[in-house]
C-alpha cells in the first residue's frame, strides 16, 4: 500500500514533501507586505518541527504577501516559532482543527488572493505559485488536482464522497478534487460569495462556489499522497472519515435545499400519481 503510494507520487510529479522532519537551515525572517496581494493561511497545531520550512517556502511564493499562522492548541512552542520567524500570528489555546483555523485566518486576511496550506507538509514555493497564478488569471477557486487513490475497485469512502459531490454538482470534470485538500486558493470574490462560515465545512463551501457560478478549477496537482485530511493511521481514521462524510452530506443537503429534491435533475416525466 505504502509502496504503491510512493510510486504514484513519483509518477504524478517530482515534488518532495517532507512531513514532520526538522531540517536545520537558517530561516530568514519573513516580510509581510503592508498591502498584500496574497494572504497565505496556515493553521498549525504542534507543528514546530516543520513550521520553519513551511514558512520559508510560503515566503517565496509571492513578493506581495502576508503569512498568517493560526497556532491552535499547541503545547510545543509553535506560536513562538511563528512569531520569531515573522509570521502574523493568531493564537488559540483550544484546538480548532484545520477548517476552523482556515476560516479564522481568512477573516483577518487582507490579500485579494487567499492561499491555504498546512503546517505539517512542506510544499516547495514553486508548487504553490500555480494556485496563486490561477486566481490572478481569473479562477475563483483553484483546487489541488489530486483526487486520491482510485486504482482499486473499492475506493476510500472520502474519495467516493468527493467524486459524487462534484458529479452531482454537474462538475464531474473536477473528479475527486476538493477544498478539503490543500493547497488551494480563493479569490476575494469567492470568499465574499461563499461566506466565511462555509469555510468550516469545505465541501459545503465548494458546493456553494460551484452553484453560484464561480470559476472552480483544478489547476495544479500536488500529490499530497495520503487522503486529505486523513493523516493518521489507526482508529482515528474512522472518526475523520465519519466527519468528512458528514460534511459532504451537509453539502448535499444544501444542494437539495438550493436546487430541489432531485438536485435539478429531472425524472424524464414519470407519471407518479399512477401508483396508488
Nearer to another protein, 62 or 98 (CB): 98
Q: Assess 111 for contact with another protein (CB under 8 A).
A: no
Q: Tell whether residue 37 is a contact of another protein (CB under 8 A).
A: no
Least distance CB 275 / another protein (angstroms) = 4
Packing angle, helices 236-259 and 202-211, rounded to 10:
30
Q: Is 198 in the site for another protein (CB under 8 A)?
A: no
Alpha carbons 56 and 195: distance in angstroms, whole number = 30
Give the number of C-alpha atoms closer than 13 A to the C-alpha of residue 47, restricted to the C-beta side: 26
| DSSP one-letter code for 37 | S
Report the chain's C-alpha Rg in angstroms: 19
**172 touches another protein by CB under 8 A:** yes
One character per residue 210-239, x = contact with another protein (rule: CB under 8 A): -------------------x-xx---x--x
Binding mask 53-82 for another protein (x = CB under 8 A): -------------------xx---------
Asked whether position 159 contacts another protein by CB under 8 A, the answer is: yes
Q: The cell 488572493 sits on which residue?
A: 113
- For 33, phi then psi, to 5°, come to -70, 140
Exposure string of 110-122, with b = 16+ CB inside 10 Å and e = fewer, is bbbbbbbbbbbbb
Q: Which residues contribute to the site for another protein (CB under 8 A)?
A: 45-46, 72-73, 94-100, 150-155, 157, 159-161, 163-164, 167-168, 172, 200, 229, 231-232, 236, 239-240, 242-243, 245-246, 249-250, 252-253, 255-256, 261-272, 274-276
Amino acid at each position: 500500500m505504502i509502496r504503491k503510494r510512493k510510486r504514484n507520487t513519483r509518477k504524478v510529479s517530482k515534488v518532495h514533501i517532507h512531513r514532520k522532519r526538522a531540517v536545520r537551515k537558517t530561516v530568514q525572517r519573513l516580510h509581510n507586505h503592508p498591502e498584500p496581494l496574497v494572504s497565505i493561511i496556515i493553521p498549525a497545531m504542534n507543528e514546530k518541527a516543520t513550521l520553519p520550512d513551511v514558512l520559508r517556502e510560503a515566503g517565496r511564493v509571492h513578493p506581495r504577501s502576508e503569512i498568517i499562522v493560526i497556532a491552535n492548541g499547541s503545547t510545543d512552542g509553535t506560536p513562538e516559532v511563528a512569531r520569531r520567524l515573522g509570521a502574523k500570528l493568531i493564537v488559540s489555546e483550544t484546538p480548532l482543527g484545520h477548517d476552523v483555523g482556515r476560516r479564522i485566518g481568512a477573516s483577518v486576511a487582507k490579500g485579494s488572493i487567499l492561499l491555504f496550506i498546512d503546517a505539517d507538509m512542506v510544499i516547495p514555493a514553486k508548487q504553490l505559485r500555480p494556485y496563486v497564478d490561477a486566481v490572478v488569471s481569473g479562477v475563483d477557486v483553484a483546487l489541488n488536482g489530486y483526487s486520491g487513490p482510485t486504482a482499486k475497485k473499492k475506493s476510500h469512502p472520502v474519495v467516493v464522497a468527493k467524486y459524487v459531490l462534484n458529479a452531482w454538482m454537474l462538475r464531474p470534470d473536477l473528479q475527486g478534487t476538493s477544498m478539503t485538500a490543500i493547497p488551494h486558493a480563493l479569490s476575494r470574490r469567492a470568499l465574499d460569495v461563499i461566506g466565511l462560515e462555509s469555510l468550516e465545512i469545505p465541501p459545503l463551501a465548494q458546493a456553494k462556489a460551484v452553484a453560484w457560478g464561480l470559476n472552480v478549477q483544478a489547476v495544479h496537482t500536488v500529490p499530497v499522497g495520503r487522503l486529505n485530511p486523513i493523516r493518521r493511521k489507526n482508529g482515528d481514521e474512522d472518526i475523520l472519515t465519519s466527519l468528512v462524510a458528514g460534511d459532504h452530506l451537509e453539502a448535499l443537503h444544501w444542494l437539495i435545499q438550493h436546487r430541489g429534491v432531485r438536485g435539478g435533475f429531472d425524472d424524464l416525466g414519470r407519471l407518479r400519481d399512477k401508483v396508488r
